[in-house]
Structure 1
C-alpha cells in the first residue's frame, strides 16, 4: 500500500497561517523550487476559506508572490470546483439548472403528491417542501441511493405515510433526469459527482506533476472522500485535516459512530470513507511551538469528551493554562448580548492591527451586532449576508403584494407609498406631502376595498383644501401605477407566477426610479424577478392570497452581500464561513441550545430510520459539525463566549458546550461581569429630575369662559385633559384603517333620531329605513359595514319609536329635539343640547340617548355624571326651546339594538338613592358646577392630570401627560 500523506493542524494553531507558512517554506514538495508554489493546487472547503488562505499567504510572504491555485471542493452544499482539468468533454455539457428553477419545477410534483395524500397546505409550505425535496434528491445522488434501496429501506415496519413518500421519491428520482434532458439542463450534483469520480480515476492512474493539497475539509460525501483518499496517496499529494485529536483514547475513538455528536465524529467518518486510520495522520510540519495553546486544545478535548468519558474528570484536573484567554459573558436578552459583543469588537479596534470576529449561527444576533457597530460608524462584513426580504427592495416587493391582497387598505397602502424607494428621488418632499394628505383622509373607519374607494375617500375628505386638485391628480397617477397588481388580485387564483413578477416590475418602474435597482440588494431583486419571469410559469394555479408569503419566502432565501466598504479588521461569520478563519479575538455568540448547537433538523422526506438503512449521514451530523466548529473557533488566543438568558419569547437553555465548560472548569472559567454591566447600561437613560404630575396653570386672562354640559365631568375628573383638548386645542388623530366603533354608531343614531324627529317621520317604518341607508352610506362605503350595522340600527330606532309612542299615550308630547342653548353662570357660559325633551302639562322630562351603558349610580352620586342635571337647569331656565317649567323626570334611553333592543333608566324607576329627591340633586349639581367653574375657569387652580382617573371618561392625553412616568409613585 502506498504511503498516505495525511496531516492535521491542531485547533489552537491558526489553520490558514500554518498551512501558508509551511507551503511557503517549500514543504512537503520541491524544496527550493520557487515556481513550485505557483504550480500547487490547494483544494479548500468553501470560498471563504479560500479567501482566508489567500490572506494568510499575503501575511506570511510580506511581499509579492505567485499564489497557488485555490479551488473549492466543499461539503454537500458547496459549488463545483472551478478550474480543475477534468477534460474538455466536461465543458461542453448543457447548463446546470438553477436552485430556484429546480424548486419551481418540483412544486407541481409536490402539490400533486399532497393532493393524493390528502394534505392541504399553503403555497409557501409547498415551496419549503419543494426545497427540501431538492436537497433530498441531492443527498440521494451524493450517496448513490437507488430506487431499489429506498424501497427496501421503507418496506419494513414503517408507517403507510412513509411508504407512499418512498414511492413518490422513487418516481421523482427516476423521472427527474428525463425532465432535465427535456429542458436541456444538467444537474449540479450529478455533474459534480461525475467530475470528482473522473478526477479520482485520472489522478489514480496518472497523478498530476504539480502538488495537490486538500486542506481544511472535515466532512465529505463518499465520492469526495474517495478523491481525498486518492490525493493522499499521490506522490505529490497531501490531505490536511482540521483539528484531528491524535491524543484521544483509542477505545473512545473507535466508539465514535456516524450518529455521534462528538466534535471528532465527522473526521472519524471521513477517515473511514478514505479507507484510512487515525494512525496514518501526522502533525503538519512547521513551527508549531510558535502557535502555542496546546493546553487550550487539551482542555477542550476533555471538556467535550463523550459522556461516558466524563467520569474521568475527577482524575483529570483542567490544564492550568487551558482557560487562559477565555472569558464568558451571560446577559439577560439578545439586545444586551449584541451590545456586549459590539463593545468587545469596538475595544479590539483600539489596539492597532488587532482583529476580531463574531462566529454565530444566529442570524438575528449577527444583524443586531452589525447594527450596534454602526453607532460608531463601523460597518462590519457579515459573510452570510442579509436576506433580500430584509433589504429595502425586498421589503417593497412584499409590501406591494400585501397592499394588493388587502384591497389597498390604509395601513399597507401607506406603507408602500411612504417607502424610501417609492416616489421621485429629486422631489420627494412634494411626494411625501401628498402622502400625508392621503394619510389624513384615510384616518378613521376603513374604506371599501379597491383603489377607487381610496380615491372616493380622498375627494370626500379634502373638498375645501387649496391643494385638492394637486392631491387628487397625484393619487390618480399613483393609483394607475398600482392598478396592474389590483388586476391580479381581482381573481381568487392565479396560474402564472411569471405574470406576477412582470406586474411587480411594471409597478416598480412606475412608482420608483433607478434607485430601486441600485446596489447589491437592487441587483438581487432584479435577478429574482428575472428568474421568476423565466420560470414562474411552470407552477400550478395558486390562491392569490398566498402570493405575499410566497414572495417573502423567495426573497428570504436570497442572500445579499455588500461588495466593499466594510471594516478590514472585523468580521461576522456563520459556522460554515468561519471554518479556517482566525482572528485575534474570536467571539462565539448565541451559545444556547437550539442555536449552537442547532435544533435537530427534520427531513420531511427521509425519516431517521430510513437514513440509517440507506447509509446516509444522520441529521445528528449537523450537531457534530457544530461541535467541531466550536472547538476550532475556541482555539484562538483570546475567546469570548456569550449567551442570553432569554430570547424574544421565552427563557433559553445554555448550550451544552457552555455547560460542559462550566462543569469542567468551574471557577477557572472567568465571567466578564464588567462587560455584562456595560452592555446592560449602554443604552440606559441618563439620570434626570423626577417627573411630577403635570398641573399647568395658565394666566387668568387665557382661561376658557365657556363649557358644555358634557365637558364638565372631564374638567372635574381630569382637568389636564380638558386643558389639552379645549385650551391647547389638541385632538387625537383617528387610527388608520380603524374598525367601526360603537361610539361612531352612537353618533349616527343620534343624528338619525334628530332627523326623524324634526321631519316628523319617526313612526314611519319606510322613512326610518331610508334614513338609515343614507346615514350608513354617508359614513362608510364598505358594504360589509352596512350589512352588519343596518339591522342593529333598525332595531334601535324601532324601539325608540315605540317608546315615544308609549310616552305620548301617557300624556307626554315632544317639546324639543336637539335644541342648543346656553346659560351665563358667574361669568361662565354653560352650553348644552338635549336629545329630546318631553312635556306633560306644566312639567318637563329630559331624555338623553345612550348607545352604550348609562353611568353607574356611584358615578352620579360622586358628581361625575351631572349632564342630565345641567341640561335640566338649562331647560328649567327656558334655554332649550321650551317654556321655563320645572323638570319632573330625567331618563337615559339606552338604544342597544341587540338581544335586548333597549332599556330606560329614569328618575321614576331607577337610581332611587340619587334621584329620589330630584330637586336636591339638581341643586347639588348646580353648586358643584359653580365651584368647578370658580376653580378652573374664572379662578387660578392648576389643571392637574388625572385627579379622579376612575371617573375620567377618556385617556387620549396620557402620553402627553407622561402618566407612566409619575403615576403610582
Structure 2
C-alpha cells in the first residue's frame, strides 16, 4: 500500500506534479516515449483542481506529449461510465433532483404539521416558507443517512433506546421521521434515487472496476480526506492496486500512536479537529501515520505552530512547554497578517485593496470565504479598480438580476399593484415589456407624476386606469404632471400589456391556496412578457427552474398566498447563476472546498468570524446532536473539523492574510475560534503584531473614500431680485415667512412644490380633511345642531364624504363608526354655544391687501367664522393635531389665527361683515375627554386680543418689507420650531441636517 501526504506548507498540485514527473508516485512505471504520461490516471476531488492540475503539468519543464487521465471522485455518470469495463452491473437509476425532493417532502411535512401531534410540536403553525425549509432539512437528513450508510431502522432504534429520555416533541418527531423515511422511496417512484445514493453507487462501481480498469498501470488518488465512506472504499481499492497511490492533503505524519488514538476516541470530542477525518481514513485503510511518506519537507515552523494551536482540548494544557522561542515565532508567522476590520464593508474594501496591490506585483491571489454575501462585497470593491472577479459559487438565483425582477413582479401581484411596487418594477432595467429602456423610463416618469403622486387609487391596475382617465379629463386637481393624449395612449397600451402579463399571477394570489408549480408557471409567464428584450443575467436559469417546478404538478405543499417573497426564496434554494464571461486567471474567490488544493501567491481567508468559519454546529430541526450520534451519524461538529482542516491547509501558504469583522450587521461579532486559538497560543504581543501588519490595508480602506477636510454646508440664504419674490401668500405661509423665508424662495422663486409620498396611504391627515368637510357642509346647509334629526343629517353627510375615498376600502366603515362618536360630541359642542351665536359661516375664504407701498395680498380660508350676538366674531380652527403652544402664542410666533382676525376686521372674509374678533378658538377633533374642548388663543398679560393681532400685523408687515420687497437674503430656519419632529418640505433642499441641530428640550409652555 503506497500512502503519501503533502503537508500544508508545500504547494499541493505542484508537489503532486513533481512526484509524478520524478517517478516517486509511479511505482517504477517506465517513463519512456513522449506519451508515457497518458498511461497515468489521477483522481482529484473537484473539477477546479482537475483544471489546475492540467495547468501545473503543462507548466512543468519536463512536460511533453499528452496529459495524464485526470478525473474526479464520483464524477457525473456520463463522464465515468465510458471508462468502466464491461462487467455485469445494473443500470443506475435516474437521479431525483433536490427541488423534486423538497417539493415532495413538503407535502409530507405539511400533512404532519396539520395533525394533532404536529400541532403540538409547533408553538405556532408553520408558514409555507418554513415548511419548505423543513422539507429541505429533511432532505439533508436523508443525504446524511445515505452518506453514512444508515437507514430509517437506525432512527427507529434511537426512539427505542432513548424513548424515556426524550420529551414529547422529540418522540412525535421520531414517529414522523419513521413514517417519512419509509415512505420516501415509494414517493420517489421506481427507477429513481437520491443524488447521494447515486454518488455512492458510482464510487463503489469505480472501486469494483479499479483492478480491471487500471491493471498494473499507475493510478493516483489525491487530495481527498475520505469523509464519505464510499470515497474511503474507493481510496482503499486504489491503494491495493499494484501501482495504486493515495496522496492525502495535510496529514500530520508526526502524530505518535497515542495522539492518533486520541483522535479516534469519541470521549475526546475530536470531530472538530482538523486531523479527525484523516485519522478515520487511515483507520479505514488499515494504516497509521508512520506508514505515510511525505512529499516535500515534513515539518515547517508555520505548520507546526498551527497544529499545536488547533490541538485537542486536552492537549492545550501542554501549550506552555511547546511555545515557540521569539525567533522561532517570527519565522513561523513571517508572511501572516490579520485584518481586524470594524465592519464587513471595511473588511471587503481592505481585502480588495490588498488584492489589487498583489496583482500589480504580478502575484496570483486567492480569496477564500464561506460567506457568499461577503464574496459579493469583495467583488464589488474590486470592480471599482476594474478588476472583475466572480464568486466561484455563483450568485443565488433569488438574488440575481433575473431573480430580483421576478421578485418585483411577484410583489406587484401580491400587493395588489400598489404604487411603490409598480414603480419599483418599472424602474428595474430588466422590465422592458418589448420597448427600449428610454421609452420605459419616460413612461415610468409619466405614471409616477401623472397617476400616482398625490392620488388615492382604487385597487389593482384598474385604479391606475381610473387615475389616467381622471388626469386626461382634468377631473382631478392634485396631480404633479398633466398628460397629453399621446402620453395617455402610450400609458394605456403599457397598462394593457402589464395586465395581460400579470393576469395569471393576479388570479393565483387571489385564490384560497396554490402550490409551487402553479406559482412558478405563472411567474415565468409574467417574467417572459415583462422582460421581453432584456438581456438579464440569470434569465435562462430562472426559465429552467420554473420549468422544473412546473413539471412537479401535484407534488408539493399547497399554501395560502401570503409572504410570497419568503416562499419564492425557499423554492429557489440551492439554484445558482454562474458567471459565463471570461475572467482573469490571476485572482479568484473560492469556497472552502474549491480552495482546498490551491496555492496562490497570496492567500486571503475572509469571514473568519465565529459561526461563519467554522459555521455553527447545527444538527437541524429533525434530530438533536445526541440523537444523531445514537443513529450512527456524525455530529454537526464534523463540518467544523473540515473547516478547521481547510484553515490549516490554507495557513501553509507563504503569504496568508486572515480577515474578520468586529461587527456583523448591527451586532458585535467574535473572531473565529480558529483565530482565537491561534492568538491564545502565540501570545498577545505576536497577535498584536500580526494585526499591525494588516493595519496598512485597513488604513487605506478608511482613507480611500475620505476627504482631507469636511466643510459643512452653510445656512443657505439666497438673494433673488425683489421683483421675483411673491406678492401673494397664504395665511398659513405667514408663519413660514417669519420662521423660514427660504421655503417661500423655494416655492415661489424656484417654482418647487413638494410631492406627496409615493403610495401614501390615506391617514389621519386625510381623515381629518374629510371630517372638516363634513362639519363645514353641516353648517353650510344650515342644519340646526339641536334639531331632533341633527345626528341623522350629520351622519348622512359623513357617509357621502367618506364614500369619496375609494382607495380606503374597508377602512371607510371603520372610520365612519369612529366618526359617529365624534358627531355626537360635535353636536353637543355646537348646542352648548348656540345661544351666543347669531350666524355660523364654514370654510370662509378671506383676502387682505396689506397697507404697504407695494401691494402684497394675504389669502386664506378659516374653518369657521361665527357672528356672535354681541356683534363680534369668533374664529375657530378645528384641529386633528395639537394647537400651538401657549408660549408660542404669547411670543407672537403663531400668527395664523390673529391674521385671520385682521382679515375679518378689514372685511376680507367672504359673506361676513367687517367686525373685530372677541375670541380665537382652537377645537380639537378627537375621541375621548379632550375632544371638542375649546382652547383660547393666549395673549400676553394685559393685552387685548385685537391688540395682539395688531402687533402680529405690524410684525408681518416688517417681514414682508424685509424679505419680499427688498433684495434681502432669504435664510432657512430663521426661527425654528423647537417642538417640530418632522422634516420640513424644503429641509432636504436646504441641507438643514448638515448645518443645524435641534435640542431635545421641552417646550417651555
Q: 128, 131, 136: which one pairs with 1:131? A: 136
1:893 and 1:905 in contact (8 A); partners too: yes
2:367 and 2:605 in contact (8 A); partners too: yes
Superposition deviation, residue 795 in structure 1? 4.2
- Deviates most, 608-617 or 479-488: 608-617
Q: Residues 198, 893 of structure 1: CA spacing in aligned structure 2 closer, same or farther, 3 A cutoff?
A: closer
Q: Residues 746, 111 of structure 1: CA spacing in aligned structure 2 closer, same or farther, 3 A cutoff?
A: closer
2:11 and 2:599 in contact (8 A); partners too: yes
Cα distance per residue 1:411-467 (max 9 Å; x no partner): 222222222111246532222222222222223466343222232233334534212
Q: How does 1:431-830 map to 2 (within 5 A)?
A: 431-440=440-449, 441-444=451-454, 447-464=457-474, 465-466=483-484, 467-494=487-514, 496-515=515-534, 519=537, 521-666=538-683, 667-668=685-686, 669-670=689-690, 671=692, 672-685=694-707, 687=709, 689-761=711-783, 763=785, 764-814=790-840, 817-826=843-852, 827=854, 828-830=856-858
Q: Residues 515, 821 of structure 1: CA spacing in aligned structure 2 closer, same or farther, 3 A cutoff?
A: closer
Alignment match, 2:987: 958
- Deviates most, 522-531 or 275-284: 275-284
2:337 and 2:658 in contact (8 A); partners too: yes
- Structure 2 gap segments, 5+ residues each: 475-482, 999-1005
Matched residue SS, 1:643 = strand
Alignment match, 2:953: 926
TM-score, structure 2 as length reference: 0.90
1:409 and 1:446 in contact (8 A); partners too: no
Q: Residues 854, 564 of structure 1: CA spacing in aligned structure 2 closer, same or farther, 3 A cutoff?
A: closer
Alignment match, 2:478: none
Matched residue SS, 1:891 = strand
- Deviates most, 540-549 or 172-181: 172-181
Superposition deviation, residue 742 in structure 1? 2.3
Q: Residues 93, 612 of structure 1: CA spacing in aligned structure 2 closer, same or farther, 3 A cutoff?
A: closer
The 1-side partners of 2:174 and 2:863 are apart by: 75
- Structure 1 gap segments, 5+ residues each: none
Superposition deviation, residue 501 in structure 1? 1.8
- Deviates most, 300-309 or 644-653: 300-309
Cα distance per residue 1:252-308 (max 9 Å; x no partner): 332114542221111112212222222221113xxx36xx98222122222222333
Q: How does 1:63-462 map to 2 (within 5 A)?
A: 65-73=65-73, 84-85=83-84, 87=86, 92-116=91-115, 117-118=118-119, 119=122, 120-155=125-160, 156=162, 157-182=165-190, 184-203=191-210, 208-257=215-264, 259-260=269-270, 261-284=272-295, 288=296, 294-318=300-324, 319=328, 320-352=330-362, 354-424=363-433, 427-440=436-449, 441-444=451-454, 447-462=457-472
Q: Residues 952, 113 of structure 1: CA spacing in aligned structure 2 closer, same or farther, 3 A cutoff?
A: closer
- Deviates most, 775-784 or 912-921: 912-921
Q: Residues 683, 82 of structure 1: CA spacing in aligned structure 2 closer, same or farther, 3 A cutoff?
A: farther
Matched residue SS, 2:333 = coil
Superposition deviation, residue 49 in structure 1? 2.1
TM-score, structure 1 as length reference: 0.93
Superposition deviation, residue 382 in structure 1? 1.5
The 1-side partners of 2:293 and 2:454 are apart by: 75
The 1-side partners of 2:595 and 2:990 are apart by: 51
- Deviates most, 226-235 or 811-820: 811-820
The 2-side partners of 1:168 and 1:80 are apart by: 38
Superposition deviation, residue 951 in structure 1? 5.2
Segments of 4+ moved more than 6 angstroms: 77-80, 204-207
Q: Residues 818, 27 of structure 1: CA spacing in aligned structure 2 closer, same or farther, 3 A cutoff?
A: same
Matched residue SS, 1:43 = strand
Cα distance per residue 1:631-663 (max 9 Å; x no partner): 111111111111111111211111122223223
Give the alignment's Cα RMSD to 1 decimal: 2.7
Q: Residues 102, 232 of structure 1: CA spacing in aligned structure 2 closer, same or farther, 3 A cutoff?
A: same
1:915 and 1:921 in contact (8 A); partners too: no
Superposition deviation, residue 206 in structure 1? 8.5
Matched residue SS, 1:854 = coil
The 1-side partners of 2:456 and 2:14 are apart by: 64
Superposition deviation, residue 923 in structure 1? 2.5
- Deviates most, 947-956 or 586-595: 947-956
1:713 and 1:866 in contact (8 A); partners too: yes
The 1-side partners of 2:213 and 2:348 are apart by: 53
Superposition deviation, residue 12 in structure 1? 0.8
1:394 and 1:555 in contact (8 A); partners too: no
Superposition deviation, residue 700 in structure 1? 2.5
Superposition deviation, residue 890 in structure 1? 1.8
Q: How does 1:21-100 map to 2 (within 5 A)?
A: 21-29=18-26, 30-34=29-33, 35-60=35-60, 65-73=65-73, 84-85=83-84, 87=86, 92-100=91-99
Superposition deviation, residue 937 in structure 1? 1.7
Q: Residues 82, 696 of structure 1: CA spacing in aligned structure 2 closer, same or farther, 3 A cutoff?
A: farther
Q: 881, 888, 895: which one pairs with 1:866? A: 895
Superposition deviation, residue 858 in structure 1? 0.7
Q: Residues 174, 837 of structure 1: CA spacing in aligned structure 2 closer, same or farther, 3 A cutoff?
A: closer
1:218 and 1:270 in contact (8 A); partners too: yes
Cα distance per residue 1:651-684 (max 9 Å; x no partner): 1111122223223334345332221100112222
Q: Residues 336, 62 of structure 1: CA spacing in aligned structure 2 closer, same or farther, 3 A cutoff?
A: farther
